[in-house]
Structure 1
């Protein structure tokens, strides 16, 4: 499995899949020569999903987005999963990656994560008729994402369209308030760093360590 699409069975009930990187179609030469690519394709995701034997699936996302067709396929694959799906934004869930995020019945966004939504875009060339058709096609390609956002959030289609037209970045709190996320995961105010620093100070002061241990016997695992 490639480095940006990891498969981890946590225990007998939960499996984690990591979508870290660009979402795009797997090239023919990559398949023929078994090249480890630095992206996530619908095919590689399906191969990983087919190996999941646990009732719970957790999909962790850190991606700037990529191909709409590949992303929609991954979203639909997750919707067809027979068990429970939780999605988590570990960093960014941008563009089509934010659509994949919406596949979770439980959608977790930490305070330090971001979402971004915008319209589909592409390159085109040709005469005026070809350019108009390309614009019309892009509207249709964007519509499934709009449908997904409106079905999961508290926003209507007009509101979603306005946000996508402006390319909107959503902080974690905004994503939660609008309904993109169902859980806002709060930071622990550097508790880990504070505990490590305190442990260092205590180890440097044997007298203080002895005093604390004598007053609170339940803290033995801390040192």
Structure 2
């Protein structure tokens, strides 16, 4: 739980889901942590996707991941929509990976990263509540392993070992192992994420950005203050 709080605290922005509509097609941007309070949650995302029923959807992803349950709910909605193509623009880590592979096809930008590990969530309550949450996470891990195995053709044992080790894949490695279907021509987007909550995160070159969004900065600081109260 502490690692998930750290990930959210360091990356919280609470930007709304961004959409660009073009005729019968639309693009959704998942450029945030996956969390219902300090990022983009399943309720907001799924409502947006439902409003695009019947349209071809491009889902652009640059996300450090977040809560497993919201990620799973988003993945279910994507699979049910059907006509979704995912582009990994910079990073798909943790919960963002199974959001990505729920699409009918996955394209990954050169220079991007794809990371899988065992599921994270937040839990509160007594020892019985926490034991139940741990058991549920174990089941969720099994479901995620099966999804990765179905996408890649790899054995569940190999997938489980990768998840336990927190494994980071380059675009070429993700393609070679079957997590994505192709590598795009466009370079990766700016990776602005603080990945210190992860154990094996690679050092990713940051692109210079001299035009900060001060409203986003202000909101992030407010959210971090709120998270310190529960951290």
Q: TM-score, normalised by structure 2?
A: 0.67
Moved over 2 A (4+): 121-138
Matches of 1:131 and 1:42, distance apart in 2: 23
Q: 1:58 to 1:122 in 2, by over 3 A?
A: closer
Matches of 2:50 and 2:31, distance apart in 1: 19
Matches of 1:125 and 1:15, distance apart in 2: 38
Matches within 5 A, 1:1-223: 3-9=15-21, 11-26=22-37, 38-53=38-53, 55-82=55-82, 84-122=83-121, 135-186=134-185
| Structure number with bigger Rg | 1
> CA contact under 8 A between 1:4 and 1:18: conserved in structure 2?
no
Structure 1 position 154, deviation (Å):
2.4
**Gapped runs of 5+ residues in structure 1?**
27-37, 189-223
Structure 1 position 125, deviation (Å):
8.8
SS in 1 for 2:149: helix
Q: TM-score, normalised by structure 1?
A: 0.70
SS in 2 for 1:142: helix
Q: Across the two proteins, how many residue pairs are aligned to each other?
A: 174
**Gapped runs of 5+ residues in structure 2?**
1-13, 188-231
Structure 1 position 142, deviation (Å):
1.3
RMSD value, Cα: 2.5
Cα deviation, 1:165-200, whole Å, max 9, x if unaligned, reads: 100000000101111100112458xxxxxxxxxxxx
Q: 1:131 to 1:18 in 2, by over 3 A?
A: closer
